[in-house]
Amino acid sequence: MPDEPTDAVALDGLVRRRGERLVLRDLTLAVPRGATVALLGPNGAGKSTLLRVLAGLLRPSRGGCRVLGHALPRERAAVKGRIGVLAHEPLLLRDLTVRENLVHRGRLLGGEAATPARIDALLEATDLVGRAAYPVAALSRGLTQRAAAAAALLGDPELLLLDEPLANLDPVAAERLGALLGPAPRSRFGAAGPRTRIVAGHDPEAALAESDLVVGLRGGALALLARPADVTDAEIGALYR
Ligand SMILES: Nc1ncnc2c1ncn2[C@@H]1O[C@H](COP(=O)(O)OP(=O)(O)OP(=O)(O)O)[C@@H](O)[C@H]1O
């Protein structure tokens, strides 16, 4: 078995442009395997863009971007299926039912991901058993978010990229999904350790309490990189000022 990389994510001068604009500016950072990262920053700071680059949905414009030991975009195929993404756009097919979406996603992932038992367990865990036969187009935003969470977890991913994962959820669903999407001890990856999570959000207090590393973006640049215990109120304030 090849050596697993220590870092789940390693960025070296990552730049992402949108036309002429720099949306991510020269980001250099490393996320150890198994860490939970709180990704903070004001609206438009670049959080979603960074998650999309890490997910292989957007190409870096310049700089190094290694995910689970593989350089993106070149080695994207090697990490396919090892990353779970819960984004603002739910990445579901609206005309298919919830269950059909999970079956379809399982086929894309290949392997054993979408056994009927695993799909049933995820429908149960997201409290969607009664909605499994609904087309996604007929779901409310919160229910769609729950279906997207089930899809993100289907492949039992090593890296979870979560963009405001509890947005649109009622309190009971938020608690349930919070636990489901939380740190998961992993045995499958042996020495590679537990699941790595990068969670973008707008609640600094909760983010600090639940993370091992705080990454703050401002104007697409790295404005904060620290362990939660070392982050001061002034630093959080400066991020949003
Ligand atoms: N499809 C797009 N085309 C052009 N510019 C975009 C697009 N998506 C995002 N941007 C721009 O990229 C910048 C970063 O946006 P991004 O969505 O990554 O920020 P964010 O930190 O996730 O914000 P929010 O907290 O509001 O979700 C913003 O200036 C935004 O206007």
27: helix, strand or coil: strand
The predicted pLDDT at position 90 comes to 81
Residue nearest to atom 14 of ligand 1 (CA): 46
The predicted pLDDT at position 192 comes to 45
The predicted pLDDT at position 113 comes to 73
Token pair of 141 as six digits:
């935003």
Q: Which of 24, 43, 51, 88 to mutate to test the pocket of ligand 1 (most atoms within 8 A of CB)?
A: 43
Look up tokens 């790295």; give the residue.
222
**Residues paired with 10 in a beta bridge:** 30, 66
The predicted pLDDT at position 189 comes to 42
The predicted pLDDT at position 187 comes to 45
Look up tokens 């059909």; give the residue.
100
Phi, psi torsion values for 164, nearest 5 degrees: 45, 60
CA of 93 to the centre of ligand 1 (A): 23
The predicted pLDDT at position 4 comes to 62
The predicted pLDDT at position 3 comes to 52
8: Cβ contacts below 8 Å, ≥ 6 apart: 31, 32, 33, 34, 35, 67, 68, 158, 159, 196
Token pair of 210 as six digits:
């639940």
DSSP class of 133: T
Residue nearest to atom 16 of ligand 1 (CA): 46
Q: What sign does the dihedral 45-57-205-7 (CA atoms) show? A: negative
Closest-CA residue to 47 (of 39, 57, 56, 55): 39
Look up tokens 């042996």; give the residue.
190
Q: What ipTM does the predicted assembly reach?
A: 0.96
List per-block mean pLDDT (blocks of 10 residues) for the chain, which spans 241 residues. 74 96 97 95 97 95 96 91 90 96 91 86 95 97 95 92 93 91 60 79 90 97 96 95 89
The predicted pLDDT at position 132 comes to 98
Inter-residue contact 197 to 84 (CB < 8 Å): no
The predicted pLDDT at position 114 comes to 81
The predicted pLDDT at position 193 comes to 53
Q: Which of 39, 47, 85 to mutate to test the pocket of ligand 1 (most atoms within 8 A of CB)?
A: 47
The predicted pLDDT at position 110 comes to 81
Inter-residue contact 224 to 239 (CB < 8 Å): yes
DSSP run (H or E) holding 64:
strand 62-67
